[in-house]
Amino acid sequence: MRHNGEHEARARTRAAMGRFGGPLADLLERDASEDDTRLLVTDFLCEGLGFDRDADLTTEFQAKGECAGYGVRIDRKLAAFIEVKRCTQKLNMRHLRQVQMHAVDAGVEWIILTNGQVWQVYHLTGGLPLIIDLALEVDLLSDDSLARKADGLFHLSKEALKRRLLDDLWRAKVATAPESLSGVLLSEVVIEAVRKELRRQTGYQGDATEIARALREQVIRAEVL
């Protein structure tokens, strides 16, 4: 069930996407600089995603070399880094590496890369090895519907970060990834349930090992192919 604040935040994000479409197209047409791109991104963070320019966004990390364009605070606690690149520059793993160690050092789980058009959100799981997962990607100029794109970007809003809705989105993506679902299908409890249901429906008296092999080779592998 959605809160009233969530409805308002989603509407604000969608409206801002409509307003910023023209300025974004202008940046791309004139191959604007990274500084100009940063100005547009800052305006969108404030007008579209609900952040306060002074209270929620900090550029203090820029002084540490190749580092995030912004630190994002939620209730005064650092919650994410945002790295902004020139509007015509394609985002790549090198940009992620520029900021990931700073995120680890600060205990921050989220990194957002953007060139104004494409917004990529990565989740960091600390430890050795460091695990980095792409949790969300939105291309503002893609053929996806405005509603779908706005729904994605809503998860970066101040309201969504405060309620940790981005965490929920990431957990759902991890849980339903092919490797996760494969593990569930091949678990003992599922295989035993399949064995009993096959026996009930067909009279087949297969053992767990044979059913696991069939699932692995004929069902899971077929879906992957």
pTM: 0.84
Integer angstrom CA distances of residue 73 from 68, 76, 157, 168: 13, 5, 12, 19
CB under 8 Å, gap of 24 or more: what pairs does 131-135 form?
132/96, 132/100, 133/170, 133/173, 133/174, 135/166, 135/169, 135/170, 135/173
Q: What is the mean pLDDT of residues 53-79?
A: 80
Q: How far is 38 from 84, CA to CA, in rounded Å?
A: 6
Confidence of residue 222 (pLDDT cuts 50, 70, 90): low
Say which residue, 134 or 205, is predicted with more confidence.
134
For the chain, give every domain's residue range: 4-175, 178-224
Beta bridge partners of 83: 113
pLDDT (mean) for 178-203: 90
pLDDT at 108: 92
What is the DSSP secondary-structure string of 141-203?
A: TSSS-HHHHHHHHHTTSHHHHHTTHHHHHHHHHHHTSHHHHHHHHTSHHHHHHHHHHHHHHH-
Closest CA to 137 of 168, 161, 114, 109: 114
pLDDT of residue 1: 45
Q: What is the mean pLDDT of the chain?
A: 89
d(C-alpha 35, C-alpha 32), whole Å: 8
Between these two residues, 205 and 14, which has the higher pLDDT value? 14
**114 in helix, strand or coil?**
strand
* Confidence (pLDDT) at 65: 55
